[in-house]
Structure 1
Amino acid sequence: MTGQPAFGLSFDPRALTDLLQAPGDVRHLALGRLQDLVNADLSGDRLTGELDGHRALDVGARTEWRLLYGHRPAPPASAYDTDIHVIAVRPGSGRNEHDAARIRLARTLRPTSALAYAARARSPQLDAWRAAITAQTSPYALPVLMRPRSLRPRKALSVEGFPHSPRLAR
């Protein structure tokens, strides 16, 4: 709680446009949050994935708008070592603000590993099984594992294998 700036401040031009186009109350709250960031009185949540190394800060108590920023080295002529570089000020609906920041940083989505791709893929056996189930209408036409026990065919039991068999007692 120094009240003195600890960081410089810079904006992506599109983030400045975002801020100017935001509703008046959101703009006022965002500027107050930026002042707290520059004074090192506040810090946003760390982002992961494609925006690793950046942070997001909710603007206001309702968290409808988010401010995405990152720390970067200040220009040589600056009085500060580090700048807070604002990337986006966007409504926080879904991944809207994250997508805008990723595009502004010219980052592409990381390719997924073969294991992650396989985990998200659908099994072709599952699709074939579902198609077979929906194509059949009679409960008797269902595969044996899907039939109720009362409808499953009974196996003929051999009495020779049982120790209490009447044939063995003779």
Structure 2
Amino acid sequence: MKSARFGFAAHPEALEDLRSVPDKIRDLALLELQHLVHGNERGARMHRELAGCHKVYVDPQTRWRMVIQFRPAPPSSQHPREIFLVAVGERYDNTVYRTAADRLRRQATTGAPDQRAEAARSRSPHMRTADAQPPQALAPTAATAPAAQRRSRS
């Protein structure tokens, strides 16, 4: 498997966008993000208030879009640059672009990085690395055991 070329981070509201779109669109968006992180595509450059951003078409009908930025990754990252997901939504009436512009405007006025954005950048504790040992299997407790096992203990 090809290694990632970029890190990944997301505006916390963009993660909510992903949760709220239809399942098929979410799957396509995640696939596009995978392509972006691996450096297989870049999206189209945007202008005016979204200068510095790129738009990425999510579905074949180009009804759904993502707005992303390529930006320097934090010093703790394995990668010098990262993909930052700003917004996911419909193209209709420029909704996704207005949402992205509003988020970037709010982020610029606060000046400080959002702690939730930092959390969105962090790695999952469940993610395995090449040199990590496999987790030990834990014996199920009464609270985590399947319902059938809990009934048989009673």
TM-score under structure 2 length normalisation: 0.67
Tell me the equivalent position of 1:26: 25
Tell me the equivalent position of 1:92: 91
Tell me the equivalent position of 2:74: 75
Give the number of the structure whose alpha-carbon radius of gyration is greater.
1
In structure 2, distance between residues paired with 1:19 and 1:11: 10
- Structure 1 residue runs of 4 or more that deviate by more than 6 Å after TM superposition: none
In structure 1, distance between residues paired with 2:34 and 2:93: 26
Q: Aligned to 1:76, what secondary structure does the other structure show?
A: coil
Letter in 2 for 1:44: G
In structure 1, distance between residues paired with 2:30 and 2:2: 15
CA shift at 1:98, angstroms?
Answer: 1.0
> Is the deviation greater in 87-96 or in 10-19?
87-96
TM-score under structure 1 length normalisation: 0.60
Once the two structures are superposed, residues 104-138 of structure 1 have per-residue CA deviations (whole angstroms, 9 ceiling, x without a partner) of 0017xxxxxxxxxxxxxxxxxxxxxxxxxxxxxxx
Q: Aligned to 1:56, what secondary structure does the other structure show?
A: strand
In structure 2, distance between residues paired with 1:49 and 1:21: 27
Equivalenced residues, count = 106
Tell me the equivalent position of 2:103: 104
CA shift at 1:81, angstroms?
Answer: 0.3
Q: Percent identity at matched positions?
A: 36
Q: Aligned to 1:68, what secondary structure does the other structure show?
A: strand
Letter in 1 for 2:50: L
Letter in 1 for 2:41: L
Tell me if 1:7 matches 2:45.
no
Alignment gaps of 5+ in structure 2: 107-154
Q: Aligned to 2:26, what secondary structure does the other structure show?
A: helix
Query: Where does 1:81-160 land on structure 2 (aligned, <5 Å)?
Result: 81-106=80-105
Alignment gaps of 5+ in structure 1: 108-170
In structure 1, distance between residues paired with 2:59 and 2:69: 19
Q: Aligned to 1:95, what secondary structure does the other structure show?
A: helix
